[in-house]
Structure 1
Amino acid sequence: MNHTPVEGFSKLSKQEKIDWLLQEYLENNQDFKKVLEQYYNEDADLQKLHDEFSENTISNFYMPYGIAPNFLIDGKLLALPMAVEESSVVAAASKSAKFWLNKGGFKTTIINTEKLGHTHFILNVEPHKVLHFFNFKLKKKLLEATEAITKNMRNRGGGILNIKLIDKTADLENYFQLKASFGTADSMGANFINSCLEQFGKTLKEEVSKEESFTEEEKNSLQIVMNILSNFTPNCIVRAEVSCKIEDLKDDSGISNEDFAWKFKQAVTIAEIEPYRATTHNKGVMNGVDAVVIATGNDFRATEACAHAYAAKSGKYKSLTHCTTDNEIFRFWIDLPISVGVVGGLTNLHPLVKFSLSLLGKPSAQELMSILAVSGLAQNFAALRSLITTGIQKGHMKMHLLNILNQLGATEDEKKYFVNYFKDKTVSHHEVIDEFNKMRNL
């Protein structure tokens, strides 16, 4: 089927957008129209609010919003909100929380909260001349030019922490950076950082044009390529950890405490040296992190990008978590670079985000960093615990069972039967279908 381009799609009403899509791509299938309308919110004001979060909206896309209770974090007992569609994530996090509840819980440390941004520019001037210009003139001018932008942030304890000139001419001809570090208090700070950087670009242009040590040809060579924050924040770090005596590890799978500790440490070490395993290992960490990031209205894409870049900071992709078993003590921890906020963005707009933050006791940005690192560590602990004992499929497929039954159109009574049937069995897609067909004589 040949499709025709559309002009002014964004200017169409929601109904006009839907009608066009149905006609152009979906053979005017009214069942799809019902699906879209089924997910509208009955509260018109709330629906309008959701529509304005993004562009060209035609419906809502729901995700399950679950709660993982019993998280003892730095002495506070919390229930974590998790928005995630993957089976077993919330259950696994809850299981880890319960495991560590009577062993002191999770401890966290904020190592640093520095965020970064860059003005990237091309300038055909000898690096030593650019450095002299930066040190003795430009840096001061950059700080002066951004005073109005940074005033409110400085009043909240943040602002521009430092500015450096970075010579990248060995990597790209005539390429330099203004690398700035920022404190953004309780906000994620993206808009603040980008506003500062865009002013950097303007000030740089003005000051280069007036610099007496540069020739006219050198001045004219300046090209401001872009001014943008970095989602890689290796100096915005939180550590979360758990520890106990190996003799207190008691697992209900039948494995001895010593074997559990040994196998667990081996599993983490394998993820530290083998990128194929590290990728899946860290994906599991981010299952826990992202679910809380989404529930609190933060940017899970930025969180993912930063975590994976950090995992590869040595030049080889490695595990984000680490484990030791020295002196009969089991210790498991994560150092997670994460930049989040509790003001700005969706935090004051999305009703469920406001609920999530209230549920967590209205945390500061640093406290939310701690909660997210704990969620990732707990998720990873649960995954590794399953892998080295019963295997990952037993718990995962049991949680996936209802998805399979819903796909088959099972009744509520049939679902109860299957939950009981697989109570002491490992769920497999094939066996569910076989048993379902027998039940219905298919």
Structure 2
Amino acid sequence: MTKPISGFSKLSKEEKIDWIVNNYTHNPEQSKHVIEAYWNSDSQLQKLHDEFIENTISNLYMPLGIAPNFLIDEKLYAIPMAIEESSVVAAASKAAKFWLKKGGFKTTVLGTEKVGQVHFIFKGSYTSLSQFFDFVKPKLLLETESLTKSMSERGGGILNIELRDKTADLENYFQLHCTFDTQDAMGANFINSCLEQFATTLKSEALKYASFTEEERNIELIMSILSNYVPNCLVRAEVSCPIEELNISTEVSPKTFAEKMVRAIEIAKVEPYRAVTHNKGIMNGIDAVVLATGNDFRAVEAGVHAYASKNGRYSSLTHAEITNGIFKFWIEIPLALGTVGGLTKLHPLVKMNLEILRNPSAKELMRIMAVAGLAQNFAAVSSLVTTGIQKGHMKMHLMNILNQNGATEEEKAKIISIFKTQTVTHRGVLNALEDLRKQP
């Protein structure tokens, strides 16, 4: 039986690998070979990757693709996408090409406000606390000036600090609700540093505030942390064209297609089971660009899905309508992103991907990612209301099936040729491969 280990972090990389393969794998020698096979041959580059996180033993590669032909606000982009799922890059590229000659995508950044909170317990009246807050607020700002100086010079900084009474939700619970503009940085470290200073000042000033009772002076600080829910860090992306230009499929008329698209979006608005998968498809496009640009996809996902529930029920992030013969399709989505700091200057591929995107500002990257999500959703829903999702997806998945079953390059070429005119199914591919291998 494997025993707990003490001091694992202090072991060398080789010692960590030996311990993990010997204690947790059936074939230590083969497992060690797999781990080392994914090391970068450039030792300096591998060392850089090793230092991104803790207890590193290897790299988990993810394909990096390019979706070209995105016309966004009159500029042409090729969008890098890091994702393991078949058909995502192809679908985004197809949608980009479809809208290219129809004016492309139009975007608007509706806000860039980010949020952080100081959570605390106060056993006293709200009136008393409110008077103290009015007194201490200038000091909160003053004592963070050393932290905000550089950000303020770039046009960002602290936007506001509010006292919020949350006692209806939790006894004696109050918070400082703070808003920030972090310009081209995602800003997590900046925000958290400011919040912790707010908490320190709040506590120290309360202890000597003459109007407080002894109990009121002892404010209990719980935590100070940014929020990944950023409903006012919002971007809108849209496409539109006359209905007659929606020649997306030979199987349905443009008018029928437009009506089915609107109806599909309406279903995703009212049916949470559909909305979750619908929005997952949007995030296929967005997360792929988030990863390719070194941003935090967990933070983006959490904020986006919270926003999808802002009206009390989980719902579609995209919208569609037909007005006066014009089909319009759009998304409004919160995206807290950075193009400086983090991995943007450390990871060579991330740095190159940002260069491919013309070294965008954080606002420009918001626009690009919103478009990637909208394009992905348009492609997915278009397939659903016409041919069905599996026809295109399984064609893209064909290579995975062949690789899983050890097909040679010659076998791949023959099977791909067979399925150019046939529907791809897992069993169908296996049968074709078996038949091929039986031939002399």
Give the Cα separation in 1 of the matches to 2:389 and 2:358.
33
Q: Tell me the residue number matched to 2:140.
A: 142
Alignment deviations for residues 197-235 of structure 1 (CA, whole Å, 9 cap, x no partner): 000000000111111111112212x11100000000000
Alignment check: 8 A CA contact 2:249 2:386 kept: no
Equivalent positions of 1:23-62 (< 5 A) are: 23-62=22-61
Unaligned regions of 5+ residues in structure 2, if any? none
Query: Which 4+ residue blocks in structure 1 deviate beyond 2 angstroms?
Result: none
Query: Within 5 Å, which residues of 2 pair with 1:232-381?
Result: 232-381=229-378
Q: Deviations over 1:231-253 (max 9, x none)?
A: 00000000000000001111133
Q: Hey, what does 1:191 align to over in structure 2?
A: 189
Query: SS in structure 2 opposite 1:113?
Result: coil
Shift of residue 27 of structure 1? 4.0
Separation of aligned partners in 2, 1:168 and 1:160: 22
Specify the code of the residue in structure 2 equivalent to 1:138. V
Match of 2:203 among 202, 205, 214: 205
CA drift at 1:28: 4.9
CA separation in 2, counterparts of 1:78 and 1:199?
41
Distance 1:23 1:419 in 2: 41
Question: 1:416: which partner in 2?
Answer: 413
Matched residue count: 439
* One-letter identity of the residue aligned with 1:70: N
Distance 2:333 2:220 in 1: 35
Distance in 1 (CA, whole Å) between partners of 2:192 and 2:129 is: 23
- Alignment RMSD: 0.9
Partners in 2 of 1:43 and 1:233 — Cα distance?
39
- Quote the residue 1:389 is aligned against: 386
Inter-partner Cα distance in structure 2 for 1:401 and 1:128: 67
Conservation of the 8 A alpha-carbon contact between 1:253 and 1:389: no
CA distance in 2, matches of 1:92, 1:8: 47
What CA distance in whole angstroms lies between the structure 2 residues aligned with 1:168 and 1:280? Answer: 34
Deviations 1:101-129 (A, max 9, x none): 00000000000000000000001011111
Out of 401, 413, 432, which is 2:398 matched to?
401
Task: Map 1:54-73; keep pairs closer than 5 Å.
Answer: 54-73=53-72
The CA distance in 2 between the partners of 1:275 and 1:340, in whole Å, is: 27
Partner of 2:103: 104
How far apart are the structure 2 equivalents of 1:301 and 1:126? 38
SS in 2 for 1:335: strand
CA distance in 2: counterparts of 1:424 and 1:193, whole angstroms:
56
- 8 Å contact from structure 1 (residues 163, 181) kept in 2: yes
Q: Contact between 1:72 and 1:106, CA under 8 Å: does it hold in 2? A: yes
User: Where do 5+ consecutive residues of structure 1 fail to align?
Assistant: none
What one-letter code is carried by the residue in structure 1 that aligns with 2:211?
S
Q: What TM-score, normalized by structure 1, do the two folds share? A: 0.98
Task: State, as a whole percentage, how many aligned pairs show the same letter.
Answer: 63
1:29 deviates by 2.2
Give the conservation status (yes or no) of the 8 Å contact 1:187–1:343. Answer: yes
Instruction: Confirm or deny that 1:436 pairs with 2:422.
Output: no
Task: For residue 10 of structure 1, report the CA deviation from its aligned partner.
Answer: 0.6
Q: 1:71–1:97: 8 Å Cα contact kept in structure 2?
A: yes
Give the counterpart of 1:216 among 214, 219, 224: 214
Residues in 1 aligned to 2:379 and 2:385: alpha-carbon distance in whole angstroms: 10
Distance 2:250 2:97 in 1: 16
What's the TM-score, normalizing by structure 2? Answer: 0.99
Q: Could you say which residue in structure 1 is the equivalent of 2:165? A: 167
Q: What are the superposed Cα offsets for residues 336-372 of structure 1, whole Å, 9 maximum, x if unpaired? A: 1010000000001000000000000000000000000
Q: Which secondary structure does the structure 1 equivalent of 2:85 belong to?
A: coil
Q: Any idea what SS the aligned residue of 1:401 has?
A: helix
Instruction: Work out whether residues 253 and 390 of structure 1, in 8 Å CA contact, stay in contact via their aligned partners in 2.
Output: no
Q: Which amino acid aligns with 1:393?
A: Q
CA positional deviation for 1:330: 0.4
User: 2 CA distance for matches of 1:418 and 1:262?
Assistant: 38
SS at match of 2:438: coil
Q: Which amino acid aligns with 2:217?
A: K
Taking the TM superposition and a 5 Å limit, the aligned residue runs for 1:80-159 are 80-135=79-134, 137-159=135-157
1:109, 1:212 → 2: CA distance? 49
CA distance in structure 2 between the partners assigned to 1:253 and 1:343 by the alignment: 46
Q: How far off its partner does 1:439 sit?
A: 1.3
Give, in whole Å, the separation in 2 of the partners of 1:244 and 1:27. 58
> Could you say which residue in structure 1 is the equivalent of 2:8?
9
1:385-413: per-residue Cα shift (whole Å, max 9, x none)? Answer: 00000100001010000000001100111
